[in-house]
């Protein structure tokens, strides 16, 4: 069993259906999880839905249903999104599940036993949309005089009895953490924001509510439910069996990576480690706050009408075309933009025209000229060796290093440059012309391309798993060889000696067209 690797997404708030931003995070986390599996690691990947809080209670009231009914219905949409987009989670967690109530109450009790909780009265600004408290100094004022949170959401003055967490006690321990482990918060811009926030001083945090009852009950305090973020963050340890000393808990905690949006970095990089310090639980190794996905450069908003259902995009363009576009187009960690035109352009140019056409040309020639049997290699020329060096350098070095660094667009860029090299090689070597003039050279060229295509298919599997595996199946590549170790160690002889016979290939990526209305 390989080295353990535990990755989580932020769990999605299901007061509305999933949008492309939810899909982006899930796809990115899935690509990272798949890469580590191909590296031979024992991966645990968790995503899910965050179902409690005032926002959900209000949404249910507006629909005249109970919050649990709304949560059940909406959570299914998010799980269906993950399944449709080929997201290979190990657990889809829901915060309304019984084991999560138990874990949240155990965490609460551990913090209480440490002396870090006390009962008081909360008076301050609260954003229902963010489910977050804000200091007066953080607020802005709209043109019509309305007070807004730093994210531009309305805030309201809230007064109620509340349990408080002694967050102020953990200001220096948090700063010490950031100094000793600069990799704890990434990218660097997010780390700088968090450090400045904590250096500015931490107030104790209200962590219970009495104005509604849709939440995890506070143990021993009737009428109080937990602040939704305390409950939500606990999901990362619920999924490993906390508070029990389970095999999952011993093997996978602390988490290697919490992958989240930049708008929730404060909760994960300030509140969450403080809660864990209080409870005496080891801290996660890294919190990575990725950027926003914008629609034609604008933030998605229901009022603007630019919120897009990711399943609609997947149906229209294909799951792998959508996955590839999102991870290739956007520099991970920064904001990025998408449009139907951009998806079509990128998918056609790089998937259909470059890689798909390359595979189609090579496999078709092997079927026609070699009877479908894998051609032999009759010695290497400098051109052959140069292509192997380019492809193996990208797939065996540059791409794994980029995946490790979460530089997903860089991994895709290295891949497509190697694909371009293969296309230049086939045009230069012209195996169709060698069929009569030098059949053995033709076989060597086709064998070289066959191996390079297989290597590149394995290397891009984390990004386009369905298409890559369909191609590898068609090429007869044993599943045991579909790993990064196999790319660098075992390609040449197993492929050359295989008795697999190719069938006439089916185009891997259909060319996409813009619908007339979109165009």
Secondary structure string (H, E, C) spanning 16-69 = CCCCHHHHHHHHHHHHHHHHHHHCCCEEEEEEEECCCCHHHHHHHHHHCCCHHH
Average model confidence (pLDDT) across the chain: 93
Cα separation, 164 vs 162, whole angstroms = 6
Give percent helix, percent strand, percent coil of the chain, each to the nearest 5.
55, 15, 30
Average pLDDT over residues 34-38: 97
Least confident segment among 39-53, 77-91, 227-241, 477-491: 477-491
**Is 7 a residue whose pLDDT tops 60?**
yes
pLDDT at 144: 85
- Split at pLDDT 50, 70, 90, the class of 62 is very high
Higher pLDDT, 212 or 180: 180
**Is 497 a residue whose pLDDT tops 70?**
no
87 closest CA partner among 479, 465, 409: 465
**Is 495 a residue whose pLDDT tops 70?**
no
pLDDT tens, residue by residue, 203-246: 999 999 998 999 999 999 999 999 999 999 999 999 999 999 99
CATH class for the region spanning 341-497: mainly alpha
pLDDT tens, residue by residue, 299-344: 766 555 667 899 999 999 999 999 999 999 999 999 999 999 999 9
Specify the DSSP class assigned to residue 464: S
**Is 34 a residue whose pLDDT tops 50?**
yes
Average pLDDT over residues 31-57: 96
Residues linked to residue 162 through DSSP beta bridges, in sequence order? 120
468-472's contacts with Cβ under 8 Å and 24+ in sequence apart are 470/508, 471/359, 471/508
Q: Percent of the chain beyond pLDDT 70?
A: 96
pLDDT at 301: 61
Average pLDDT over residues 506-517: 84
Average pLDDT over residues 507-513: 94
pLDDT tens, residue by residue, 407-461: 999 999 999 999 999 999 999 999 999 999 999 999 999 999 999 999 999 999 9
- Split at pLDDT 50, 70, 90, the class of 518 is very low
Average pLDDT over residues 355-374: 96
Helix (H, G, I), strand (E, B) or coil at 162: strand
**Is 151 a residue whose pLDDT tops 50?**
yes
**Is 514 a residue whose pLDDT tops 50?**
yes
pLDDT at 306: 67
CA-to-CA dists, residue 403 to 95, 133, 397, angstroms: 30, 36, 10
**Is 75 a residue whose pLDDT tops 60?**
yes
- 497 burial (CB, 10 Å; 0-12 / 13-18 / 19+) is exposed
Cα separation, 221 vs 231, whole angstroms = 16
379: left (phi over 0), alpha (psi -120 to 50) or beta: left
Domain extent listing, the chain: 341-497
> Interior CA angle at 391 toward 389 and 393, to 5°?
60
**Is 493 a residue whose pLDDT tops 50?**
no
Least confident segment among 158-162, 191-195, 205-209, 380-384: 158-162
pLDDT at 61: 93
**Is 63 a residue whose pLDDT tops 80?**
yes
CB–CB of 134/155 below 8 Å?
yes
């Amino acid at each position: 069993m390989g080295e353990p690797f535990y990755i989580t997404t932020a769990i999605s708030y299901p007061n509305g259906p999933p949008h492309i931003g939810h899909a982006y995070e899930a796809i990115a986390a899935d690509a990272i999880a798949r890469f580590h599996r191909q590296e031979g690691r024992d991966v645990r990947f968790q995503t899910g839905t965050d179902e409690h809080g005032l926002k959900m209670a209000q949404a249910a009231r507006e629909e005249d249903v109970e919050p649990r009914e709304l949560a059940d219905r909406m959570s299914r949409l998010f799980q269906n999104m993950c399944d449709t987009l080929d997201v290979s989670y190990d657990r889809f967690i829901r915060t309304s599940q019984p084991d999560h109530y138990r874990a949240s109450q155990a965490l609460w009790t551990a913090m209480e036993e440490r002396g870090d909780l006390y009962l008081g009265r909360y008076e301050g600004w609260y954003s229902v949309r963010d489910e977050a408290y804000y200091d007066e100094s953080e607020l802005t004022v709209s043109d019509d005089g309305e007070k807004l949170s730093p994210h531009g959401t309305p805030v309201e003055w809230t007064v109620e009895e509340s349990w408080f967490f002694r967050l102020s006690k953990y200001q220096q321990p948090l700063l010490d953490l950031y100094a000793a482990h600069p990799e704890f918060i990434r990218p660097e811009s997010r780390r700088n924001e968090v450090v400045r926030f904590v250096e500015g001083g931490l107030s104790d945090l209200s962590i219970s509510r009495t104005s509604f009852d849709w939440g995890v009950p506070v143990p021993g305090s009737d009428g109080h439910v937990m602040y939704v973020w305390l409950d939500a963050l606990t999901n990362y340890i619920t999924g490993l069996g906390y508070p029990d000393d389970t095999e999952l808990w011993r093997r996978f905690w602390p988490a290697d990576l919490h992958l989240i949006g930049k708008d929730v970095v404060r909760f994960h990089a300030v509140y969450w480690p403080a809660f864990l310090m209080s409870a005496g639980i080891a801290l996660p190794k890294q919190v990575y706050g990725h950027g926003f996905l914008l629609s034609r450069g604008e933030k998605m908003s229901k009022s603007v009408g630019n919120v897009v259902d990711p399943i609609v995009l997947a149906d229209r363009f294909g799951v792998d075309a959508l996955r590839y576009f999102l991870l290739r187009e956007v520099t991970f960690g920064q904001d990025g933009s998408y449009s139907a035109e951009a998806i079509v352009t990128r998918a056609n140019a790089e998937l259909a025209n470059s890689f798909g056409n390359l595979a189609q040309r090579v496999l078709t020639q092997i079927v026609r000229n070699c009877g479908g049997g894998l051609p032999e290699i009759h010695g290497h020329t400098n051109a052959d060796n140069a292509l192997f060096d380019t492809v193996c350098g990208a797939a065996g070095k540059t791409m794994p290093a980029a995946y490790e660094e979460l530089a997903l667009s860089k991994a895709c860029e290295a891949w497509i440059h190697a694909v371009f090299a293969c296309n230049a090689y086939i045009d230069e070597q012209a195996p169709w012309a060698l069929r009569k003039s030098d059949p053995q050279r033709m076989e060597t060229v086709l064998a070289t391309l066959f191996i390079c295509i297989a290597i590149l298919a394995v290397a891009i599997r984390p990004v386009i798993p369905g298409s890559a595996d369909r191609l590898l199946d068609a090429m007869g590549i044993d599943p045991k060889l579909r790993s990064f170790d196999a790319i660098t160690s075992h390609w040449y002889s197993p492929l050359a000696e295989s008795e697999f016979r190719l069938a006439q290939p089916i185009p891997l990526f259909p060319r996409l067209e813009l619908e007339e209305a979109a165009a």
